[in-house]
């Protein structure tokens, strides 16, 4: 499965969104070799087992522009990063207590040039605000 499958389910993506989805595999494969955040057997099925599953919520819920969404225990950035690509006008905060996972997520966010995502390396109980 490739990013093209995502485009079939979500045909109204901008060119920028398509490029970001296409970059996901390269970024995750590169970082996963350094810091294992996606199961080795799942990395070849990234679009099916992680990206498409993350986007499934978008078939039932549409976030209002300006909403603040909290992804608790984001791990490798799922579902937060794919949803942030799909909803560029929504603000996502990705939280995980494991620093090496947040390191990978930060690098993926930077590689995709996502401006609507921030990460926090902490336990969710420590996060102020409403989401």
**What CATH number is attached to the domain comprising 24?**
3.40.50.150
CB 13 within 8 A of CB 21: yes
Residue 131 lies in a domain: no
- Would 106 be classed as within a structural domain? yes
Strand partners, 92: 69, 117
pLDDT tens digits for range 18-68: 999 999 999 988 887 787 777 766 777 888 889 999 999 999 998 999 999
Q: Which domain holds residue 110?
A: 3-126
For residue 112, the surrounding DSSP H or E stretch is helix 99-112
What's the whole-model pTM score?
A: 0.94
CA neighbor of 37 nearest in space, from 23, 55, 50: 50
Assigned domain for 61 exists: yes
Here the tokens at position 8 are: 């079939």
**Does 94 fall in a domain?**
yes
In a domain, 28, yes or no: yes
Distance CA 131, CA 127 (A): 10
Residue 113 lies in a domain: yes
Residue 34 belongs to a domain: yes
Greater confidence (100 vs 38) lies with 100
Per the structure, the count of domains in the chain is 1
Residue 107 CA to residue 104 CA, distance in Å, equals 5
Does residue 74 have a pLDDT over 90? yes
To 5 degrees, how large is the angle CA 58–CA 61–CA 66? 95
Average pLDDT of the chain is 92
């Amino acid at each position: 499965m490739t990013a093209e499958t995502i485009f079939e389910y979500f045909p109204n993506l901008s060119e920028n969104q398509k490029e970001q989805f296409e970059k996901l595999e390269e970024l995750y494969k590169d970082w996963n070799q350094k810091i294992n955040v996606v199961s080795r057997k799942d990395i070849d099925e990234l679009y099916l087992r992680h990206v498409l599953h993350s986007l499934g919520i978008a078939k039932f819920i549409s976030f209002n522009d300006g909403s603040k969404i909290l992804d608790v225990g984001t791990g490798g950035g799922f579902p937060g990063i794919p949803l942030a690509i799909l909803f560029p006008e929504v603000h996502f905060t990705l939280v995980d207590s494991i620093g090496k996972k947040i390191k990978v997520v930060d690098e993926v966010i930077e590689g995709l040039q996502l401006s609507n995502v921030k990460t926090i390396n902490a336990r969710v109980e420590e996060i102020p605000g409403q989401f």
